[in-house]
């Protein structure tokens, strides 16, 4: 019997006699074909899924460029900051971002909001898409029609109550809105904050500032009104401290910027809080104010959380110049009470080993002043000399305006020079140097970071002179050093510049080489001129050992930028030289170096590797033009 007729007969209901036998054969056929059929269905489903995934992947569109045009007086960066749609990176090795049109449509609304915030209520924003590369890439062009801004037609200020008339004029001075000028929501809201702060500084912490801005879109004008109810004028009352179980209350009291009976000022409470925190004795400082409506006094409560006063720290590192280095330090805050800090540090490297003890006493002559005593015992093995030194130093310093520091020191120094590359007749007659030196320094610092600055300026001036009463005979000089650093960030690239100049002028019968070698100028190395090894940008002896000089000029320029995650890069140009004579500067003798480096940013500062190449070598320098430096922290 053929298969087709057999299968048909299985469903012939009239043939009851053959039904059991035919059912058994039908079961055999289904059992035989069913696994194969299920496998084919599964394979087909899997293939369809892969094809769908591949098709979906093929449909992904990447953003190749975004252009914003039509902006007038609004910076493009403000518009970019409001957008979710990512901009393609300028770094060619980074993949372009994926395109999402829904994100872009939402961004258009955000841009319109930015324009309204700046006073452009009738502006329109549109976009066009230019697909290319078989619709795999898209160029986005955003067109802004700002139109005309809304202008401030009238600006009125009313101060309620029996307050002096000059309050109205003072309010007008702090506001950043003016009649006839463009109206913006940002300036409007900021003006309210400034008015509130003004009255808070005048003893009105509960002033109620009400405002209204009525915008007429047809005439593009807005009428602005401010109504201020100062309320009651308050004065400082009692000051309460909480949480200082181990720290004497008097140490907190001296950090307070206000006294009982003073006119209340919110900024003075915030400054007091900052003063307490900057003592380093507390983990947190919280200020609470309680207003007594009967006495018209403000009770201020400073709640502190004490920190651990004693700490031990250990660190190891590696740098090209001093190889393996290690440091162990112990510090005790509030040492012997009075807020003093004692720190003892032991350090080791191939260049120097030493023990340093430092005692800092705050409030020497009021707030932001200190007196520090330092004892430094150190063994130096530098390229130019080897020796053991004992240095006792006392330094008084005072900070002004949070960015200007003036300091002066008295140093009593004894150095036992065991060997150096060149000895003058006077130095040959003695193996030790005893100096008492006074110095004066000024530092102006408005940079944004001590570890990794990205903007701001730092100026450092320093001068020192031995006192002849206790110093070695014929060792008299005046040393001066000036350094200027400047940082600026442009589109994510940090531009840094540094210029350093120094001079030592000998006095009386002192020969230039009679200036102790550890007081002379040296340059070269990872933090100086990166075309030279450590201290080797200096006058050299016939064996190519550094002698040090009496005048110096060094300059650096860097461009720092990120690569990805915590890894960054830098390109640099260094120049400078060290001269034997005082005021021996010569632009014709400057040495130049260029190079590049990598930076890996950590919480303790960037780990860096710099590769410097000497551009104008002389004599033996031609065989040693390439330098590699590994260290921690930026070069400057």
Q: What CATH number did the domain enclosing 137 receive?
A: 3.10.20.310
- Same domain? For 67 and 30 the reply is no
- What is the C-alpha separation between 7 and 1, in angstroms, rounded? 10
Rounded mean pLDDT of the chain? Answer: 87
Domain that holds residue 254: 235-306
- Look at residue 339 and give its three-state secondary structure: coil
Q: Are 22 and 86 contained in the same domain?
A: no
Question: Both tokens of residue 520?
Answer: 């002379």
Q: State the pLDDT at residue 615.
A: 94
More confident residue, 14 or 399: 399
Q: Which residues pair with 227 in a beta bridge?
A: 158, 210
221-229, strands of its sheet edge to edge = 151-159, 221-229, 208-216
In this prediction, residue 473 carries a pLDDT of 55
* Bridge partner residues of 239 (DSSP): 300
Nearest-angstrom CA–CA distance, 105 and 99: 12
Indicate whether 319 belongs to any domain.
no
Residues with Cβ within 8 Å of 311's Cβ and at least 6 positions away in sequence, in order, are 330, 331
| Dihedral sign (CA 268, 270, 273, 278) | negative
398 lies in the same domain as 512: yes
Q: Looking at the chain, how many residues does it have?
A: 636
Q: Kindly state whether residues 381 and 404 are assigned to the same domain.
A: yes
Q: Residue 30 has what pLDDT?
A: 45
Domain boundary among 145, 173, 208: 145
Are the C-beta atoms of 309 and 329 separated by less than 8 Å? no
* Domain endpoint, select from 171, 202, 229: 229
CB atoms inside a 10 Å sphere around CB 50: 10
8 A C-beta contact, residue 344 and residue 357: yes
Does residue 353 lie within any of the structural domains? no
Kindly give the interhelix angle for 101-117 and 185-201, rounded to the nearest 10 degrees: 50
Kindly report, residue by residue over 319-358, the tens digit of the pLDDT.
Answer: 888 889 999 999 999 998 889 999 999 999 999 999 999 9
User: Both 141 and 184 in a single domain?
Assistant: no
Query: Terminus-to-terminus CA distance in the chain, angstroms?
Result: 98
Contact 188, 211 (CB under 8 A): yes
What percent of the chain clears pLDDT 90, i.e. is strictly above it?
A: 66
Q: What is the CATH number of the domain that holds 553?
A: 2.40.160.50
Using only C-alpha atoms, the chain has a radius of gyration, in whole angstroms, of 38
Would you state the structure tokens that stand for residue 91, as one six-digit string? 């770094």
Whether 348 is in a domain gets the answer no
Same domain flag for 256 and 283: yes
Please name the helix (run of DSSP H) or strand (run of DSSP E) that holds residue 171, with its range, or none.
helix 166-174
Q: Does 23 reside within a domain?
A: yes
CA distance linking residue 285 with residue 508, whole number of Å: 56
Give the pLDDT score at 332.
95
Instruction: Specify whether 501 is located in the same domain as 551.
Output: yes
Write out pLDDT tens, residues 250-300. 999 999 999 999 999 999 999 999 999 999 999 999 999 999 999 999 999
Tokens for 388, please give them. 């053991």
Instruction: Give the pLDDT score at 51.
Output: 46
Asked if 398 and 386 sit in the same domain, the reply is yes
In terms of domains, do 465 and 546 share one? Answer: yes
Q: Are strands 477-490 and 493-506 parallel, antiparallel or unpaired?
A: antiparallel
Report the alpha-carbon distance of residue 272 to residue 256 in Å, rounded. 5
Residues 110 and 245 in one domain: no
Q: Which residues contact 50 (CB under 8 A, 6 or more apart)?
A: none
Establish if 352 belongs to a structural domain: no
- Per-residue pLDDT tens over the stretch 10-69: 334 444 444 444 444 444 444 555 555 455 455 455 444 444 444 444 578 999 999 999
Q: What is the pLDDT of residues 566-602, one digit of tens each?
A: 899 999 999 999 999 999 999 899 999 999 999 999 8
What is the number of structural domains in the chain?
5
Q: Quote the tokens at residue 40.
A: 């084919």
Candidates 161, 111, 118, 175; CA nearest to 140 is: 111
Q: Considering the domain boundaries, does residue 504 fall inside one?
A: yes
Residue 24: what pLDDT? 45
- Clarify whether residues 397 and 439 are in a common domain: yes
Q: What is the pLDDT at residue 168?
A: 85
Q: State the Cα–Cα distance between residues 106 and 319, nearest whole angstrom.
A: 51
**H or E stretch covering 172:** helix 166-174
105's tokens: 């449509």
The CA angle 443-449-450, to the nearest 5 degrees, is 55
- Whether residue 126 sits in one domain with residue 266: no
Q: Which two tokens stand for residue 254?
A: 């001296």
């Amino acid at each position: 019997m053929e298969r087709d007729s057999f299968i048909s007969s299985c469903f012939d209901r009239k043939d009851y006699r053959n039904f059991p036998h035919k059912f058994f054969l039908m079961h055999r056929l289904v059992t035989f074909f069913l696994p194969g059929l299920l496998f084919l269905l599964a394979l087909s489903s899997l293939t369809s899924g892969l094809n769908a995934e591949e098709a979906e992947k093929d449909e992904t569109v990447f953003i190749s460029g975004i252009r914003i045009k039509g902006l007038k007086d609004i910076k493009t960066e403000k518009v970019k900051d409001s957008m979710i749609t990512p901009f393609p990176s300028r770094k060619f090795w980074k993949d372009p971002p994926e395109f999402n049109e829904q994100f872009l449509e939402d961004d258009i609304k955000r841009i319109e909001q930015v324009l309204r915030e700046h006073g452009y209520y009738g502006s329109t924003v549109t976009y066009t898409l230019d697909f290319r590369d078989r619709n795999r890439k898209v160029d986005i062009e955003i067109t802004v029609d700002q139109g005309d801004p809304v202008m401030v037609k009238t600006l009125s200020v009313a101060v309620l109550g029996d307050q002096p008339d000059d309050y109205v004029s003072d309010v007008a001075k702090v506001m950043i809105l003016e009649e006839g000028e463009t109206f913006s929501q940002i300036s409007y809201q900021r003006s309210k904050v400034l008015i509130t702060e003004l009255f808070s500084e005048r003893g009105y912490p509960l002033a109620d500032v009400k405002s209204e801005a009525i915008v007429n879109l047809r005439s593009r004008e807005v009428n602005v009104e401010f109504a201020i109810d100062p309320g009651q004028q308050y004065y400082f009352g009692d000051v309460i401290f909480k949480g200082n179980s181990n720290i004497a209350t008097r140490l907190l009291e001296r950090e307070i910027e206000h006294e009982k009976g003073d006119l209340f000022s919110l900024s003075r409470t915030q400054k007091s809080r900052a003063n307490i925190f900057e003592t380093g004795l507390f983990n947190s400082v919280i200020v609470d104010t309680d207003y007594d409506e009967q006495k018209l006094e403000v009770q201020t409560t400073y709640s502190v959380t004490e920190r651990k006063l004693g700490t031990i720290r250990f660190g190891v590192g590696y740098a090209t110049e001093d190889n393996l280095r290690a440091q162990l330090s112990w510090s005790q805050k509030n040492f012997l009470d009075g807020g003093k800090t004692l720190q003892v540090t032991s350090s080791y490297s191939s260049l120097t080993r030493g023990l340093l003890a430092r005692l800092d006493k705050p409030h020497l002559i009021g707030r932001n002043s200190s007196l520090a005593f330092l004892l430094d015992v150190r063994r130096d093995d530098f390229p130019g000399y080897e020796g053991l030194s004992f240095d006792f130093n006392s330094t008084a310093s005072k900070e002004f305006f949070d960015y200007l520091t003036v300091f002066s020191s008295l140093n009593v120094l004894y150095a036992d020079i065991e060997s150096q590359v060149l000895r003058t007749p006077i130095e040959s007659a003695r193996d030790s140097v005893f100096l008492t030196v006074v110095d004066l320094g000024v530092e102006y610092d408005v940079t944004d970071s001590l570890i990794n600055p990205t903007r701001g300026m730092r100026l450092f001036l320093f001068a020192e002179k031995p006192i002849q009463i206790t110093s070695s005979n014929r060792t008299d000089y005046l040393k001066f050093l000036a350094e200027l650093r400047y940082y600026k960030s442009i589109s994510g690239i940090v531009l840094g510049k540094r210029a350093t100049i120094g001079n030592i002028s000998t006095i009386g019968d002192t020969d230039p080489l009679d200036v102790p070698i550890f007081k002379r100028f040296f340059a070269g190395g990872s933090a100086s001129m990166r075309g030279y090894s450590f201290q080797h940008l200096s006058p050299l002896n016939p064996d190519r050992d550094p002698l040090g000089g009496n005048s110096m000029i060094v300059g650096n320029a860097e461009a720092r930028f990120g690569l990805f995650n915590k890894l960054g890069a830098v390109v640099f140009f260094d120049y400078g030289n060290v001269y034997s004579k005082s005021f021996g500067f010569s632009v014709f003798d400057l040495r130049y170096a260029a190079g590049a480096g990598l930076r890996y940013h950590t919480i303790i500062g960037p780990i860096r590797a710099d590769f410097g190449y000497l551009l104008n070598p002389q004599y033996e320098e031609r065989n040693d033009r390439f330098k590699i430096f590994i260290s921690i922290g930026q070069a400057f």
